[in-house]
Amino acid sequence: MLEPVQYPVIAQLQAELASSPRMHGYYQLELVSILRLRQAGATQDEILNRLYERWAAHDANAAYRLACPPIRRPVLAEPSPSWDDYEYGSQDAHEALAYELKGGSGIGHTEDTIPQEKANELATRFFALFHAPRAYRGMGLGDPFYAFEQGVVLLDAQYAGCFLIIESD
């Protein structure tokens, strides 16, 4: 029920990102239709769970657990079944995405990966695909063999998209 959407804007963004590779990582960018899930009455959390299943690095997570088993079982309370703690204001998420796309000293790099103006433009073009989106960050979609997951997941009434930067120093 999560159908990839082949918008020319996504292909253009991917091509432009290919000309600005990350130092030690990669971009994850995809747009999917969630209209059928909405029509079937799925809640926001149910849709986010489906997106997590689609976009998280499950093979890498399994390999990581084999390579680095926990020393002891965590003694944490049961996690909340809601994604509410990961929701950000749309403007804050836009600014964060542009900042993270830029790279540079703000995230521990010696040089900018993408000039600030270009990073702002890329973020704006991605956000323009959505009407009044809800924004989520830090959802644990990244590959555990990389240190950082930055970027955003956006959802509106019809589409969901991820624009992530997965990298290490």
Number of residues written out for the chain: 169
Supply the mean pLDDT for the chain: 87
Q: Which two tokens stand for residue 144?
A: 């555990």
- Domain assignments of the chain as residue spans, ordered by start: 3-68+82-167
pLDDT of residue 103: 86
Angle between helices 116-127 and 8-18 (to 10 degrees): 160
As a whole number of angstroms, the distance between CA 52 and CA 64 comes to: 18
Between 102 and 147, the more confident residue is: 102
As a whole number of angstroms, the distance between CA 144 and CA 26 comes to: 13
Q: Is there a contact between 64 and 54 (Cβ–Cβ < 8 Å)?
A: no
Q: How many CA atoms lie within 13 A of 23 on its CB side?
A: 18
**pLDDT digits 0-9 by tens, 26-37:** 999 999 999 999
**pLDDT digits 0-9 by tens, 77-122:** 555 568 999 999 999 999 999 999 998 777 777 788 899 999 999 9
